[in-house]
Amino acid sequence: MTATVKELAYVGIEASDLDAWSGFLGQLLGVMPARHTEDVRTFRIDDRIHRHIIEHGPKNDVSFVGYDCGSDADLDEVVALLRAQGHEVTEGDEALRTERGVQRVFITHDPEQIRVELITGLAAATEPYRNDVNSGGFQTQQGGAGHIFLLCGEGMRDVMLEFYGYLGFKLSDYIKEEMAPGVYIDAAFTHCNGRHHTLAIAEAPAPFKLHHFLIENNLREDVGLAYDRILEARVPLLMTLGVHPNDKMFSFYAHSPSGVAVEFGWGGLIIEDDEAWEVTQYDAISMWGHKNSRELGKWLIESADRGDELQRAAVDEAVAAAAEVQS
């Protein structure tokens, strides 16, 4: 097979609180709002019509994921391969093409029943991209809308990898780390373009399918500024600032209003030579940082209390020393 999907085109989330999402993405992370209706909010991070589509509903999880095949020929080849492997694939009608802003769209479902939309021709927006909050904009030129990290049931990771292999995804590497005694995260990272990974998959007993999606910045400073805004707004953090060992992403993770996390990062690794790339096994999710916010909070409180004790002790010693000199 030579045809592959070329990039992550868009991510769809079903959310119970659209207004909260507008504030989270638009005001705190600096993503440009686009379409705003009672049932749908869409957001832009580049010149395309949308990259994130938030639809009203109770699920608070991923609703669909769109992958751009780049050309009609590649789309037809991917669809044909999926059908040959026994997967049902249907062509979207004019209403769906209009809703998504694409020229063509085919719908299938992965083994975890996540809706997958294979598209070509994601439309450019009619209005220029502008952003008053995030000064540097976002990185989409080398890999599309970012990446997603999916969770699946026990024994399903290899089944998922096989399915996405039909779309052209190749292994980048693995990370396996013991997060608690006897509890491991064991994730596979895959790519379909130069971005280190567009899709990651791990087995986990979770009530949701989408662990997080990435929004990558052009400027490191915009990550830090957003981190301050998130902290000041008291948005729950999943993980603090840190750097991953595999894709070298400098990032933090914040919980969205639906609970799905958003990784907000900068500086992700680009695979320059796919033929020379070697799959690696890592034993930690971070080179530094990315601390669990609950554990870090406890440490900061303990650290602040200890700092107060040391400061009081230093003051007491200084007062005693001054009194001794005067006497």
E strands present in the chain:
7-15, 32-36, 40-44, 52-56, 61-68, 90-91, 104-109, 115-120, 148-152, 170-180, 183-191, 199-203, 210-217, 237-243, 250-255, 261-266, 280-282, 288-289
Domain 7-291, CATH among 3.10.20.30, 3.40.50.10490, 3.10.180.10, 3.90.45.10 = 3.10.180.10
Per-residue pLDDT at 61 exceeds 60: yes
Q: Quick one: DSSP state of residue 277?
A: -
pLDDT at 277: 95
Quote the tokens at residue 115.
């809706």
Confidence of residue 208 (pLDDT cuts 50, 70, 90): very high
Confidence of residue 184 (pLDDT cuts 50, 70, 90): confident
The angle formed by the CA atoms of residues 291, 60 and 14, to the nearest 5 degrees, is 125
Q: For residues 100-120, give the mean pLDDT.
A: 98
The angle formed by the CA atoms of residues 100, 265 and 211, to the nearest 5 degrees, is 60
List the chain domain ranges: 7-291, 295-327
Per-residue pLDDT at 213 exceeds 80: yes
Q: For residues 298-303, give the mean pLDDT.
A: 60
pLDDT (tens digit, 9 = 90+) per residue, 12-35?
999 999 999 999 999 999 999 999
pTM of the model: 0.90
Per-residue pLDDT at 117 exceeds 60: yes
Q: H helices within the chain, ranges in order?
A: 18-21, 72-84, 94-100, 157-166, 220-232, 293-326
pLDDT at 199: 98
- 66 DSSP β-pair partners: 10, 117
Q: For residues 314-320, give the mean pLDDT.
A: 64
